[in-house]
Amino acid sequence: MTTACLTHRAVAVCLFFLVGECIRFEAAPWKNEVQTPAGGYLAKRTNGALMVGTVRAGESNIQGFGRLDNGRAPDADTIFEIGSVTKVFTAITLQIIVAEGLLKLDDRADKYLPNGLKLPEREGRAITLLDLATHSSGLQRLPGNLKISQNPYAKYGATDLYEFLKSTTLRRKPGEDYEYSNSGFGLLGHLLELRVGKPYPAVVREKLLLPLGMSNTVVTLSADHRARLAHGHDHKGRPTGNWDFDALAGAGAFRSNAADMMRFLEANLRPGGTPLGDSLTAAQKTHFRGKTARIGLGWHQLNTKDGLKVIWHNGGTGGYVSFLGFAPKEQLGVVLLSNYGDALANDSSLDKLAIEILTALNRSSAE
Protein backbone atom coordinates (compact mmCIF):
# COMPACT_ATOMS: atom_id res chain seq x y z
CA MET A 1 0.00 0.00 0.00
CA THR A 2 1.04 3.61 -0.45
CA THR A 3 1.81 6.24 1.85
CA ALA A 4 0.67 7.25 7.99
CA CYS A 5 -3.79 1.53 26.12
CA LEU A 6 -5.64 3.58 28.34
CA THR A 7 -9.39 3.65 28.23
CA HIS A 8 -11.55 6.73 28.53
CA ARG A 9 -14.78 6.87 30.49
CA ALA A 10 -17.99 5.79 28.86
CA VAL A 11 -20.03 8.55 27.26
CA ALA A 12 -23.77 8.09 27.47
CA VAL A 13 -24.63 9.68 24.19
CA CYS A 14 -25.54 8.53 20.72
CA LEU A 15 -24.97 10.42 17.50
CA PHE A 16 -27.66 9.57 15.02
CA PHE A 17 -26.88 9.42 11.31
CA LEU A 18 -29.11 10.33 8.43
CA VAL A 19 -29.67 6.59 8.06
CA GLY A 20 -30.85 6.31 11.67
CA GLU A 21 -27.79 4.46 12.94
CA CYS A 22 -25.99 5.16 16.16
CA ILE A 23 -22.34 5.10 17.26
CA ARG A 24 -21.75 3.88 20.80
CA PHE A 25 -18.86 5.28 22.80
CA GLU A 26 -17.85 2.38 24.99
CA ALA A 27 -15.22 2.08 27.70
CA ALA A 28 -14.34 -1.37 29.01
CA PRO A 29 -14.22 -4.17 28.18
CA TRP A 30 -12.43 -3.66 24.89
CA LYS A 31 -12.86 -6.49 22.47
CA ASN A 32 -9.63 -8.34 21.73
CA GLU A 33 -9.82 -7.79 17.98
CA VAL A 34 -9.24 -4.05 18.62
CA GLN A 35 -7.57 -3.80 22.02
CA THR A 36 -4.71 -6.19 21.39
CA PRO A 37 -3.50 -4.82 18.02
CA ALA A 38 -4.04 -1.19 19.12
CA GLY A 39 -2.00 -1.82 22.24
CA GLY A 40 0.75 -3.34 20.14
CA TYR A 41 0.80 -0.31 17.85
CA LEU A 42 1.08 2.16 20.74
CA ALA A 43 3.66 0.10 22.63
CA LYS A 44 6.28 1.47 20.22
CA ARG A 45 4.80 4.99 20.19
CA THR A 46 4.85 6.31 23.73
CA ASN A 47 3.67 9.78 22.68
CA GLY A 48 0.91 8.41 20.51
CA ALA A 49 -2.86 8.79 20.62
CA LEU A 50 -4.96 6.46 18.50
CA MET A 51 -8.65 6.46 17.63
CA VAL A 52 -10.20 3.25 16.35
CA GLY A 53 -13.67 3.17 14.83
CA THR A 54 -15.17 -0.14 13.76
CA VAL A 55 -18.33 -1.39 12.09
CA ARG A 56 -19.45 -5.01 12.31
CA ALA A 57 -22.87 -6.62 11.97
CA GLY A 58 -24.57 -3.23 12.00
CA GLU A 59 -22.87 -2.18 15.24
CA SER A 60 -20.52 0.80 15.25
CA ASN A 61 -18.06 1.65 18.01
CA ILE A 62 -15.42 4.30 18.60
CA GLN A 63 -12.53 3.58 20.96
CA GLY A 64 -9.67 5.79 22.11
CA PHE A 65 -6.19 4.62 23.11
CA GLY A 66 -3.08 6.35 24.42
CA ARG A 67 -2.67 9.90 25.68
CA LEU A 68 -2.59 13.37 24.17
CA ASP A 69 0.14 15.86 25.06
CA ASN A 70 -2.18 17.40 27.66
CA GLY A 71 -2.41 14.06 29.45
CA ARG A 72 -6.01 13.38 28.44
CA ALA A 73 -7.20 10.36 26.50
CA PRO A 74 -8.33 11.02 22.91
CA ASP A 75 -12.03 10.74 22.19
CA ALA A 76 -14.43 10.86 19.27
CA ASP A 77 -14.25 14.68 19.15
CA THR A 78 -10.45 14.89 18.98
CA ILE A 79 -9.27 16.46 15.72
CA PHE A 80 -6.53 14.87 13.58
CA GLU A 81 -5.04 15.69 10.20
CA ILE A 82 -6.26 13.00 7.79
CA GLY A 83 -3.86 13.76 4.92
CA SER A 84 -4.54 11.86 1.72
CA VAL A 85 -7.90 10.50 2.83
CA THR A 86 -8.82 13.96 1.53
CA LYS A 87 -8.36 12.54 -1.97
CA VAL A 88 -11.47 10.41 -1.54
CA PHE A 89 -13.45 13.55 -0.64
CA THR A 90 -12.09 15.21 -3.78
CA ALA A 91 -13.00 12.29 -6.03
CA ILE A 92 -16.50 11.81 -4.62
CA THR A 93 -17.13 15.55 -4.94
CA LEU A 94 -16.11 15.23 -8.58
CA GLN A 95 -18.68 12.47 -9.04
CA ILE A 96 -21.39 14.57 -7.36
CA ILE A 97 -20.66 17.47 -9.72
CA VAL A 98 -20.69 15.08 -12.68
CA ALA A 99 -24.13 13.88 -11.54
CA GLU A 100 -25.24 17.52 -11.51
CA GLY A 101 -24.23 17.83 -15.16
CA LEU A 102 -21.47 20.40 -14.68
CA LEU A 103 -18.65 18.04 -15.67
CA LYS A 104 -18.02 14.74 -17.42
CA LEU A 105 -15.44 12.21 -16.29
CA ASP A 106 -14.00 11.99 -19.79
CA ASP A 107 -13.63 15.79 -20.13
CA ARG A 108 -10.15 17.01 -20.90
CA ALA A 109 -8.82 18.32 -17.61
CA ASP A 110 -7.37 21.47 -19.19
CA LYS A 111 -10.83 22.41 -20.46
CA TYR A 112 -11.35 24.13 -17.10
CA LEU A 113 -7.96 25.83 -16.76
CA PRO A 114 -7.80 29.62 -17.25
CA ASN A 115 -6.17 31.61 -20.05
CA GLY A 116 -6.00 28.69 -22.46
CA LEU A 117 -3.42 26.85 -20.34
CA LYS A 118 -2.88 23.35 -21.75
CA LEU A 119 -1.76 20.25 -19.91
CA PRO A 120 1.02 18.11 -21.34
CA GLU A 121 0.03 15.19 -23.56
CA ARG A 122 1.80 11.99 -24.54
CA GLU A 123 1.32 10.01 -27.72
CA GLY A 124 -1.58 12.27 -28.60
CA ARG A 125 -3.50 11.38 -25.43
CA ALA A 126 -4.81 14.23 -23.24
CA ILE A 127 -5.32 14.00 -19.48
CA THR A 128 -8.97 13.61 -18.48
CA LEU A 129 -10.70 14.23 -15.17
CA LEU A 130 -11.03 10.45 -14.79
CA ASP A 131 -7.27 10.06 -15.23
CA LEU A 132 -6.70 12.50 -12.37
CA ALA A 133 -9.24 10.74 -10.12
CA THR A 134 -7.66 7.31 -10.69
CA HIS A 135 -3.94 8.17 -10.44
CA SER A 136 -3.46 7.32 -14.12
CA SER A 137 -2.69 10.77 -15.54
CA GLY A 138 1.04 10.27 -15.94
CA LEU A 139 1.74 13.29 -13.73
CA GLN A 140 4.55 12.67 -11.27
CA ARG A 141 3.88 12.13 -7.57
CA LEU A 142 4.97 15.62 -6.50
CA PRO A 143 5.41 18.80 -8.57
CA GLY A 144 9.01 19.36 -9.51
CA ASN A 145 8.92 22.90 -8.13
CA LEU A 146 7.57 21.91 -4.71
CA LYS A 147 10.12 22.56 -1.97
CA ILE A 148 10.15 19.90 0.75
CA SER A 149 10.00 21.55 4.18
CA GLN A 150 8.27 21.19 7.53
CA ASN A 151 5.11 22.62 5.94
CA PRO A 152 5.68 21.83 2.25
CA TYR A 153 2.31 22.69 0.68
CA ALA A 154 1.51 25.89 2.58
CA LYS A 155 2.92 28.39 0.08
CA TYR A 156 2.41 26.38 -3.09
CA GLY A 157 -0.14 28.50 -4.93
CA ALA A 158 -1.90 28.46 -8.28
CA THR A 159 0.96 30.30 -9.98
CA ASP A 160 3.38 27.58 -8.85
CA LEU A 161 1.00 24.86 -10.04
CA TYR A 162 0.63 26.48 -13.48
CA GLU A 163 4.40 26.84 -13.84
CA PHE A 164 4.81 23.17 -13.07
CA LEU A 165 2.11 22.14 -15.55
CA LYS A 166 3.66 24.25 -18.32
CA SER A 167 7.08 22.71 -17.90
CA THR A 168 6.49 19.10 -16.90
CA THR A 169 6.69 16.04 -19.13
CA LEU A 170 4.36 13.13 -18.53
CA ARG A 171 6.00 9.98 -17.22
CA ARG A 172 3.72 7.82 -19.35
CA LYS A 173 0.70 8.03 -21.62
CA PRO A 174 -2.44 9.07 -19.69
CA GLY A 175 -4.68 6.12 -18.91
CA GLU A 176 -1.85 3.64 -19.42
CA ASP A 177 -0.94 2.70 -15.85
CA TYR A 178 -1.29 3.63 -12.19
CA GLU A 179 1.10 5.99 -10.42
CA TYR A 180 0.07 7.65 -7.17
CA SER A 181 0.06 11.41 -7.73
CA ASN A 182 -0.40 14.24 -5.27
CA SER A 183 0.14 16.50 -8.26
CA GLY A 184 -2.85 15.01 -10.04
CA PHE A 185 -5.24 15.18 -7.10
CA GLY A 186 -4.11 18.67 -6.17
CA LEU A 187 -4.87 19.71 -9.74
CA LEU A 188 -8.25 17.96 -9.60
CA GLY A 189 -9.27 19.86 -6.48
CA HIS A 190 -8.18 23.11 -8.11
CA LEU A 191 -10.25 22.34 -11.21
CA LEU A 192 -13.33 21.69 -9.07
CA GLU A 193 -13.08 25.10 -7.47
CA LEU A 194 -12.59 26.75 -10.85
CA ARG A 195 -15.65 25.01 -12.29
CA VAL A 196 -17.94 25.69 -9.33
CA GLY A 197 -16.58 29.17 -8.63
CA LYS A 198 -15.94 28.63 -4.93
CA PRO A 199 -12.81 27.74 -2.91
CA TYR A 200 -12.08 24.02 -2.80
CA PRO A 201 -12.95 23.55 0.90
CA ALA A 202 -16.32 25.26 0.36
CA VAL A 203 -17.10 23.04 -2.65
CA VAL A 204 -16.42 19.83 -0.70
CA ARG A 205 -18.30 21.13 2.32
CA GLU A 206 -21.38 22.04 0.28
CA LYS A 207 -21.47 18.98 -1.96
CA LEU A 208 -20.30 16.20 0.37
CA LEU A 209 -19.73 17.05 4.01
CA LEU A 210 -22.91 18.91 4.92
CA PRO A 211 -25.23 16.31 3.33
CA LEU A 212 -23.51 13.65 5.45
CA GLY A 213 -23.55 15.72 8.64
CA MET A 214 -19.75 16.00 8.85
CA SER A 215 -19.54 19.38 10.59
CA ASN A 216 -16.13 18.76 12.17
CA THR A 217 -14.32 17.93 8.91
CA VAL A 218 -12.56 21.15 7.92
CA VAL A 219 -9.49 22.64 6.31
CA THR A 220 -9.31 25.80 8.42
CA LEU A 221 -9.47 25.15 12.16
CA SER A 222 -11.74 27.26 14.33
CA ALA A 223 -10.76 28.12 17.91
CA ASP A 224 -12.92 25.21 19.08
CA HIS A 225 -11.26 22.81 16.64
CA ARG A 226 -7.80 23.94 17.76
CA ALA A 227 -8.74 23.27 21.37
CA ARG A 228 -9.59 19.69 20.36
CA LEU A 229 -6.60 19.17 18.06
CA ALA A 230 -4.27 16.25 18.80
CA HIS A 231 -0.76 17.61 18.39
CA GLY A 232 1.25 15.65 15.86
CA HIS A 233 4.51 13.76 16.28
CA ASP A 234 6.94 12.53 13.66
CA HIS A 235 7.91 8.87 13.33
CA LYS A 236 10.47 9.30 16.11
CA GLY A 237 7.96 10.82 18.51
CA ARG A 238 9.14 14.41 18.20
CA PRO A 239 6.42 17.14 18.19
CA THR A 240 5.65 18.58 14.77
CA GLY A 241 3.76 21.50 13.36
CA ASN A 242 0.67 21.15 11.21
CA TRP A 243 0.53 21.04 7.42
CA ASP A 244 -1.37 23.69 5.49
CA PHE A 245 -2.39 23.67 1.82
CA ASP A 246 -3.06 26.18 -0.91
CA ALA A 247 -3.42 25.14 -4.57
CA LEU A 248 -2.89 21.43 -3.81
CA ALA A 249 -5.57 21.24 -1.10
CA GLY A 250 -7.38 18.46 -2.99
CA ALA A 251 -4.47 16.14 -2.24
CA GLY A 252 -4.49 16.29 1.54
CA ALA A 253 -5.82 19.40 3.31
CA PHE A 254 -8.66 18.17 5.51
CA ARG A 255 -8.76 17.58 9.26
CA SER A 256 -11.44 15.54 10.98
CA ASN A 257 -12.38 13.51 14.04
CA ALA A 258 -13.43 9.93 14.60
CA ALA A 259 -17.12 10.79 14.90
CA ASP A 260 -17.21 12.42 11.45
CA MET A 261 -15.06 9.76 9.84
CA MET A 262 -17.39 7.09 11.15
CA ARG A 263 -20.31 8.96 9.62
CA PHE A 264 -18.43 8.84 6.33
CA LEU A 265 -17.63 5.15 6.76
CA GLU A 266 -21.25 4.28 7.58
CA ALA A 267 -22.47 6.28 4.58
CA ASN A 268 -20.19 4.32 2.26
CA LEU A 269 -21.18 0.97 3.75
CA ARG A 270 -24.87 1.78 3.31
CA PRO A 271 -25.00 4.51 0.66
CA GLY A 272 -28.67 3.91 -0.08
CA GLY A 273 -29.57 5.47 3.27
CA THR A 274 -27.94 8.80 2.41
CA PRO A 275 -28.82 11.67 0.08
CA LEU A 276 -25.61 10.96 -1.88
CA GLY A 277 -26.13 7.25 -2.45
CA ASP A 278 -25.68 7.17 -6.22
CA SER A 279 -22.45 9.16 -6.14
CA LEU A 280 -20.98 7.19 -3.21
CA THR A 281 -21.78 3.94 -5.01
CA ALA A 282 -20.35 5.17 -8.32
CA ALA A 283 -17.08 6.17 -6.67
CA GLN A 284 -16.61 2.69 -5.20
CA LYS A 285 -16.84 0.95 -8.57
CA THR A 286 -13.63 0.00 -10.35
CA HIS A 287 -12.78 2.78 -12.81
CA PHE A 288 -9.21 1.78 -13.66
CA ARG A 289 -7.09 -1.36 -13.54
CA GLY A 290 -3.35 -0.86 -13.64
CA LYS A 291 -0.49 -3.31 -13.43
CA THR A 292 -0.16 -2.84 -9.68
CA ALA A 293 -3.48 -1.38 -8.53
CA ARG A 294 -7.24 -1.41 -8.97
CA ILE A 295 -8.88 1.97 -8.43
CA GLY A 296 -12.30 3.50 -7.99
CA LEU A 297 -12.72 7.27 -7.91
CA GLY A 298 -10.09 8.03 -5.29
CA TRP A 299 -10.60 4.66 -3.58
CA HIS A 300 -8.01 1.89 -3.73
CA GLN A 301 -9.20 -1.72 -3.80
CA LEU A 302 -7.50 -4.87 -2.49
CA ASN A 303 -8.21 -8.49 -1.68
CA THR A 304 -6.94 -9.75 1.67
CA LYS A 305 -5.58 -13.24 2.30
CA ASP A 306 -8.86 -14.07 4.03
CA GLY A 307 -10.85 -13.16 0.94
CA LEU A 308 -12.12 -9.73 1.99
CA LYS A 309 -12.55 -7.24 -0.84
CA VAL A 310 -11.54 -4.00 0.85
CA ILE A 311 -12.08 -0.46 -0.42
CA TRP A 312 -9.64 1.86 1.30
CA HIS A 313 -7.45 4.92 1.47
CA ASN A 314 -4.75 5.98 3.89
CA GLY A 315 -3.22 9.33 4.71
CA GLY A 316 -0.11 10.87 6.18
CA THR A 317 1.21 14.36 6.92
CA GLY A 318 4.21 15.52 8.93
CA GLY A 319 2.84 14.23 12.23
CA TYR A 320 -0.30 12.18 11.57
CA VAL A 321 -1.35 9.00 9.81
CA SER A 322 -4.85 7.75 9.03
CA PHE A 323 -6.71 4.88 7.39
CA LEU A 324 -10.29 4.27 6.33
CA GLY A 325 -11.32 0.94 4.82
CA PHE A 326 -14.39 -1.24 4.47
CA ALA A 327 -15.61 -4.51 3.03
CA PRO A 328 -19.10 -3.84 1.58
CA LYS A 329 -20.14 -7.48 1.20
CA GLU A 330 -19.40 -8.34 4.83
CA GLN A 331 -20.47 -4.88 6.09
CA LEU A 332 -17.19 -4.45 7.96
CA GLY A 333 -15.25 -1.22 8.32
CA VAL A 334 -12.46 0.48 10.23
CA VAL A 335 -11.27 4.05 10.80
CA LEU A 336 -7.86 4.73 12.32
CA LEU A 337 -6.57 8.17 13.29
CA SER A 338 -3.11 8.54 14.84
CA ASN A 339 -1.05 11.58 15.85
CA TYR A 340 2.20 9.68 15.45
CA GLY A 341 3.57 9.36 11.94
CA ASP A 342 5.32 10.93 9.01
CA ALA A 343 4.24 10.82 5.38
CA LEU A 344 7.88 10.74 4.29
CA ALA A 345 8.97 7.95 6.67
CA ASN A 346 7.62 5.07 4.54
CA ASP A 347 6.02 3.44 7.60
CA SER A 348 3.02 1.25 6.80
CA SER A 349 2.34 0.18 10.41
CA LEU A 350 -1.09 1.81 10.56
CA ASP A 351 -2.13 0.21 7.27
CA LYS A 352 -1.13 -3.20 8.60
CA LEU A 353 -3.00 -2.51 11.83
CA ALA A 354 -6.15 -1.67 9.85
CA ILE A 355 -6.05 -4.88 7.84
CA GLU A 356 -5.34 -6.86 11.03
CA ILE A 357 -8.44 -5.37 12.66
CA LEU A 358 -10.62 -5.96 9.61
CA THR A 359 -9.43 -9.56 9.42
CA ALA A 360 -10.12 -10.08 13.13
CA LEU A 361 -13.59 -8.56 12.80
CA ASN A 362 -14.34 -10.87 9.88
CA ARG A 363 -13.19 -13.96 11.77
CA SER A 364 -15.17 -13.07 14.88
CA SER A 365 -18.25 -12.45 12.76
CA ALA A 366 -18.00 -16.00 11.42
CA GLU A 367 -17.76 -17.54 14.89
Summarize the confidence of residues 208-224 as an average pLDDT. 98
Q: What is the CATH number of domain 87-201?
A: 3.40.710.10
pLDDT digits (tens, 9 = 90+) for 146-200: 999 999 999 999 999 999 999 999 999 999 999 999 999 999 999 999 999 999 9
Choice among 8-17, 36-45, 145-154, 178-187 with the minimum mean pLDDT = 8-17
Mean pLDDT of 212-226: 98
In sign, the C-alpha dihedral spanning 220, 222, 225, 231 is: positive
CA-based nearest residue to 262, from 17, 2, 9:
17
3-state secondary structure of 271: helix
Strand partners, 25: 11, 62
- Is-contact 241 152, C-beta < 8 A? no
Q: How confident is the model at residue 14 (pLDDT cuts 50, 70, 90)?
A: very low
Say which residue, 122 or 10, is predicted with more confidence: 122
Q: What is the pLDDT of residue 292?
A: 92
pLDDT at 7: 24
Same fold, 11-85+221-239+252-366 and 87-201: yes
> Where are the domains positioned within the chain?
11-85+221-239+252-366, 87-201
| Residue ranges in 46-117 assigned as alpha helix (H) | 86-99
Contacts for 168-171: CB closer than 8 Å, 24+ residues apart: 168/120, 168/139, 168/140, 168/143, 168/144, 169/120, 170/120, 170/121, 170/122, 170/127, 170/137, 170/138, 170/139, 171/138, 171/139, 171/140
**Per-residue model confidence (pLDDT) at position 179:** 97
The average pLDDT across 250-267 equals 98
Under the banding of pLDDT at 50, 70 and 90, the label for residue 305 is very high
Taking the domain 11-85+221-239+252-366, which CATH number applies? Answer: 3.40.710.10
Question: How much is the pLDDT for 31?
Answer: 64
What local confidence, expressed as pLDDT, does residue 185 receive? 98
Given a cut of 50, whether residue 9 has pLDDT beyond it is no
List pLDDT tens digits, range 83-102.
999 999 999 999 999 999 99
The pLDDT mean for the chain works out to 91
Has residue 28 got a pLDDT over 70?
no
